[in-house]
Amino acid sequence: AEIHHHQFTVQETPVNRLCKTHNIITVNGQFPGPTLEVRNGDTLVIKVLNSGRYNITIHWHGIRQIRSQWADGPEYVTQCPIKPGGTYTYRFTIEDQEGTLWWHAHSRWLRATVYGALIIHPKLGSPYPFQNPKQEIPILLGEWWNRDPISVQRQTVFTGAAPNVSDAYTINGQPGDLYPCSNKGTVRFTVDSGETILLRIINAALNQQLFFAVANHRFTVVATDALYTRPFTTSILMLGPGQTTDVLLTTDQTPGHYYMAARAYATAQNAPFDNTTTTAILKYRTAKTGVPSRPTMPRLPAYNDTATVTAFTSQFRSPFKVEVPTVIDENLFFTIGLGLVNCTPGPRCQGPNNTRFAASMNNVSFVLPRRKRNSLLQAYYQNVPGVYTTDFPTVPPVQFNYTGNVPRGLWQPVYGTKLHKMKFGSRVQIVLQDTAIVTTEDHPIHLHGYHFYVVGQGFGNFNPRRDPARFNLIDPPQRNTIDVPVGGWAVIRFVADNPGVWLMHCHIDSHLMWGLATSIIVENGVGELQTVAPPPPDLPPC
């Protein structure tokens, strides 16, 4: 195994998009940031130097961080932020993971421009469990704002109103030629006829689920969230923010130019969204001069086509029989969704009828311990009282028809830094139940430090008597981010074998900022390998 050293300099960099030049926050002046390529078993040592003007942290999305809990990255959860002028070195080893992950800022909305791919190849000498591709292409889907994302975030959080929608979607940082002034920057991939290409697709958008397709070509899905899947073919992909999907594509079409395109899958009722389309071009090298210069456009589903999404997600399986916990020690039920709290009219109270948005899990709107001078992991490790409580409800405090016609006043979320603590080795089941308090919506729920089995999902209210009979306990897919169906539920299972403090949250950043999160403490087991590692000496002070 190798050790890879990198330096990430966080800095302001001028970039030109949509006819204007802005300064954005980048890593090493690159947007998207550098692609990290490693092999399973390798170690990464990344020194981050913050030369920008905002506090920042970097998260390695999907890395389990076994014995490197302090390198996970969410600010105020596993570390305090790296201040301007400060540095911090993230050190971690890839343990039994292969495929596509990514890294991103985990500090306010800085991940709008601070993100990149993290590609994990098999160990030297081990093949892929599928046909060896001729080319591998990372595809990072993102969002672009003409305004500074931090000011868009402030407006969203402080006014409690719905966020301004983005001005463009992007593929590898470029909107593509359907947007103004974007023709020159459009990403073009040159391919030969008859080759197999591995596309490593990452949804790095802040707030939007996206459909993705390539005109005239079908995909064979082979992995998701750096876990192999049983291969299946499809012409449409849907990725929630945070998710990755690896697909094979064979260049078996008439040599020519084909668009790859992404557009919103939007499920919240009456909420504005960016309905534009980002494109890149797949260009056959052998395309004759004289082929139509306008590439063929793929057919993307309508923005609200949940049937296509369900048909797609229901095909995911593990490629082999897996060991799903069948006896459950921690049986948890978390409602997820938006809520409204009353407020006095004013600039910070811009939600409907004198309210502001406060998203919650089990009616708790999660608050980071920003002013407590400790991250949650530090407070846990050093036994500092008063930073958090461990009374996160394991079932909803009020039961009601979650996805029915819910009176808005029924649930006023409470603010708190409430965590749930569990024993090392617990076999955990979490039912994630969407609610209709403001609107039903599809939520991509991400758990740090783990991947989990998705044993079931469906629409309406989870029925504990009927639904478990249909769980897949043989070959369910594994993920680190589950897109819970709009107005529905998903059930995940895992063994709590990684001690630490792990954030669980909606990967739609406006929802995260409104509190759609909690954290889980997994206590130490026996012996060093089952114990939280000591903090590194350069851990940033608060």
Q: Which stretch binds ligand C2O (CB under 6 A): 14-22, 355-363, 491-499, 503-511?
A: 503-511
Q: In the complex with ligand C2O, which residue's Cβ is closer, 251 or 417?
A: 417
The conformational region for residue 112 under phi > 0 = left, psi -120 to 50 = alpha, else beta, is: alpha
d(CA 418, CA 506): 16
Q: In the complex with ligand C2O, which residue's Cβ is closer, 17 or 448?
A: 448
Q: In the complex with ligand C2O, which residue's Cβ is closer, 229 or 519?
A: 519
Provide, rounded to whole angstroms, the least separation between the CB of residue 202 and ligand C2O: 10
Provide, rounded to whole angstroms, the least separation between the CB of residue 386 and ligand C2O: 24
Q: In the complex with ligand C2O, which residue's Cβ is closer, 191 or 447?
A: 447
For 220, the token pair is: 């064979």
Among 226, 503, 521, 539, binds ligand C2O (CB under 6 A): 503
For 461, the token pair is: 């209210």
Q: Which stretch binds ligand C2O (CB under 6 A): 45-53, 331-339, 345-353, 501-509?
A: 501-509
Q: In the complex with ligand C2O, which residue's Cβ is closer, 242 or 413?
A: 242
Are 396 and 362 within 8 A, CB to CB? yes
Beta bridge mates, 365: 415
**Residue 291 neighbours by CB under 8 Å, 6+ apart:** 255, 256, 257
33 binds ligand C2O (CB under 6 A): no
59 binds ligand C2O (CB under 6 A): yes
d(CA 307, CA 87): 47
Provide, rounded to whole angstroms, the least separation between the CB of residue 203 and ligand C2O: 10
**Residue 277 neighbours by CB under 8 Å, 6+ apart:** 169, 176, 178, 261, 262, 263, 300
d(CA 188, CA 46): 30
Are 152 and 164 within 8 A, CB to CB? yes
Are 241 and 214 within 8 A, CB to CB? no
For 183, the token pair is: 């023709």
* CA 508, 512, 514, 515 torsion-angle sign: positive
104 binds ligand C2O (CB under 6 A): yes
What single-letter DSSP state applies at residue 503?
Answer: E
Q: In the complex with ligand C2O, which residue's Cβ is closer, 82 or 249?
A: 82
Q: In the complex with ligand C2O, which residue's Cβ is closer, 202 or 437?
A: 202
CA triple 227-306-240, angle to 5 deg: 40
Are 395 and 362 within 8 A, CB to CB? yes
| Residue located via tokens 């409204």 | 340
Provide, rounded to whole angstroms, the least separation between the CB of residue 505 and ligand C2O: 6
CA triple 425-376-100, angle to 5 deg: 65
Provide, rounded to whole angstroms, the least separation between the CB of residue 503 and ligand C2O: 5
Provide, rounded to whole angstroms, the least separation between the CB of residue 58 and ligand C2O: 11
For 152, the token pair is: 């868009």
Identity at 410, one-letter amino acid code: L
Are 2 and 38 within 8 A, CB to CB? yes
Provide, rounded to whole angstroms, the least separation between the CB of residue 267 and ligand C2O: 20
Q: In the complex with ligand C2O, which residue's Cβ is closer, 261 or 484?
A: 484
106 binds ligand C2O (CB under 6 A): yes
Among 61, 263, 479, 511, binds ligand C2O (CB under 6 A): 61
Q: In the complex with ligand C2O, which residue's Cβ is closer, 258 or 450?
A: 450
427 binds ligand C2O (CB under 6 A): no
Binding mask 456-485 for ligand C2O (x = CB under 6 A): ------------------------------
Among 74, 337, 416, 500, binds ligand C2O (CB under 6 A): 74
Task: Classify 151 as helix, strand or coil.
Answer: helix
505 binds ligand C2O (CB under 6 A): yes
71 binds ligand C2O (CB under 6 A): no
Beta bridge mates, 416: 366
Among 138, 160, 173, 242, binds ligand C2O (CB under 6 A): 242
110 binds ligand C2O (CB under 6 A): no
Q: In the complex with ligand C2O, which residue's Cβ is closer, 197 or 359?
A: 359
Are 55 and 540 within 8 A, CB to CB? no
Q: In the complex with ligand C2O, which residue's Cβ is closer, 40 or 481?
A: 481
Beta bridge mates, 362: none
CA triple 64-69-74, angle to 5 deg: 85
Are 242 and 201 within 8 A, CB to CB? no
Q: Which stretch binds ligand C2O (CB under 6 A): 152-160, 318-326, 432-440, 499-507?
A: 499-507
DSSP sequence for 339-399: -EEE--SBTTB-STTSEEE--EETTEEE---GGGTS-HHHHHHTT-TTS-BS---SS-SS-
Provide, rounded to whole angstroms, the least separation between the CB of residue 264 and ligand C2O: 19
Q: Which helix (H) or strand (E) holds 156?
A: helix 149-159
Provide, rounded to whole angstroms, the least separation between the CB of residue 349 and ligand C2O: 28
Identity at 169, one-letter amino acid code: Y
Q: In the complex with ligand C2O, which residue's Cβ is closer, 59 or 67?
A: 59
Q: In the complex with ligand C2O, which residue's Cβ is closer, 350 or 360?
A: 360
Q: In the complex with ligand C2O, which residue's Cβ is closer, 17 or 511?
A: 511
* Number of residues forming the site for ligand C2O (CB under 6 A): 11
Q: Which stretch binds ligand C2O (CB under 6 A): 171-179, 458-466, 502-510, 521-529?
A: 502-510
Among 39, 217, 263, 446, binds ligand C2O (CB under 6 A): 446
Point out which residues bind ligand C2O (CB under 6 A): 59, 61, 74, 104, 106, 242, 446, 448, 503, 505, 507
